[in-house]
Amino acid sequence: MLFMKKPEIKRVIGLMSGTSCDFIDAGFCEVSPDFSVKLIKGINYPYPPEIREMIFKAFRFEISIDELCKLNFLIGKCFAQASDILIKELGKPDFISSHGQTVYHYPFDTKIGGLSSKSTLQIGESSVIAQDTGCLVISNFREKDIAAGGQGAPLVCFADTKWFKNALVQNIGGISNVTVVSDNVKPFGFDTGCGNIMLDYCTLKFFNQKYDKNGLIAQSGCVDEGWLNYLSEDEYYTLEPPKTTGREHFSKEYIEEKLKSAPKNKEDIISTLTALTAKTITDSYERFVYKKADVDKVIIGGGGAYNKTMMKMLRTYLPDNIELKTHEDFGISNNFKEVMAFALLGYCTYYGIPNNVSSCTGANSSVVLGKLTY
């Protein structure tokens, strides 16, 4: 049994595709028994346009069951192709650790037939990845945490607790999520809310760009304080952790409804949505963190770390005594941090080491996440 083996250094390909679906992030990593992870090489592998559109159709509930069935295998093929690029250059890893592509996440404990319907769905068939690459694949991490009473997120908290101290470790992807690591409280984490989903949607809608590179569009506009306050009133932001969210909440319909009261100047829209991400992140610290945890820095990762205007806004909203850093300041890639985190999660699954943080996800206990596909 794998669980009986003594941990040793393993070469792992981590695979991740987030809510923005710009690329499949793939990283060839070296994971050590002390839970440190070295990124040897990372790549951003683009989805074929037809498949990316199918994913967004799934987000919009516009996909049929037969298309979803096909999409599960198609994404598996794409994940395998991304892995093969790294394998051709660096050789076969000991195994592949795949997050998959989340198409629906339902962390609410509603009842159907007297049973909880709390659930999550990540697709990108592991059997296809294993068959096409000839590698062991570890996948489907979120389900076990939900089965144990948790919300299935945030899972990167496990890596954050191993890599950082006295910090708020903030990822800004499509959704923003934070891990609180402090000496005086158990680690906890939650989705702070909308990250780049609304911002990217409007940047594409009004400027035909996938995202606001370096925050240049936001820099050219002005924050509409009235609209910002209206957007900040969403009830999600005041919910107590543990909590998670996604495109199920911040949907196309949600964004279009909010745009009805938006400022006329398109640059001002982008500037205000950038401020929304920064403000709701820092507001969440005021509501849920500072009174509980001693921290002295915020460490930003994900796409938001490259948005200079967003970083300036975060600095403005944060207290003066809190340092603002990025993952790069700690030798960890802003772009591939989540890939590295899931490589670590897969490593722990391989050795039977519990790899959720129940105080972050709300699970009843620590459990071993993930499934193995040979």
Helices (H), 125-265: 126-133, 142-147, 157-163, 197-207, 216-220, 225-232, 252-259
Where does the chain hold its CATH 3.30.420.40 domain(s)? 2-155+336-373, 164-321
Residues 6+ positions from 62 with CB-CB distance below 8 Å: none
Bond prior to 242 in cis (omega within 30° of 0): yes
Task: Tell me the pLDDT of the chain (374 aa) as tens digits.
Answer: 455 679 999 999 999 998 878 899 999 999 999 999 999 999 999 999 999 999 999 999 999 999 999 999 999 999 999 999 999 999 999 999 999 999 999 999 999 999 999 999 999 999 999 999 999 999 999 999 999 999 999 999 999 999 999 999 999 999 999 999 999 999 999 999 999 999 999 999 999 999 999 999 999 999 999 999 999 999 999 999 999 999 889 999 999 999 999 999 999 999 999 999 999 999 999 999 999 999 999 999 999 999 999 999 999 999 999 999 999 999 999 999 999 999 999 999 999 999 999 999 999 999 999 999 99
Here the contacts of 363-367 (C-beta below 8 Å, separation 24 or greater) are: 363/145, 363/148, 363/149, 363/150, 364/148, 364/149, 364/150, 365/148, 367/144, 367/145, 367/147, 367/148
Q: How would CATH label the architecture of 2-155+336-373?
A: 2-Layer Sandwich (3.30)
Based on the number of CB atoms within 10 Å of its own CB, is 325 exposed (0-12), middle (13-18) or buried (19 or more)? Answer: middle
Enter the tokens of residue 143.
């389900």
Which pLDDT does position 2 carry in this prediction? Answer: 57
The strand pair at 115-116 and 119-123 is best described as: unpaired
Which pLDDT does position 21 carry in this prediction? Answer: 85
Which pLDDT does position 5 carry in this prediction? Answer: 77
Taking Cα atoms as reference points, which of 138, 121, 104 lies closest to residue 15? 138
Which pLDDT does position 277 carry in this prediction? Answer: 98
Which pLDDT does position 4 carry in this prediction? Answer: 60
Q: Transcribe 194-218 into DSSP letters.
A: ESSHHHHHHHHHHHS-SS-GGGHHH
Question: Residue 38 is inside which H or E element, if any?
Answer: strand 37-45
CATH 3.40.630.10 corresponds to the domain 164-321: no
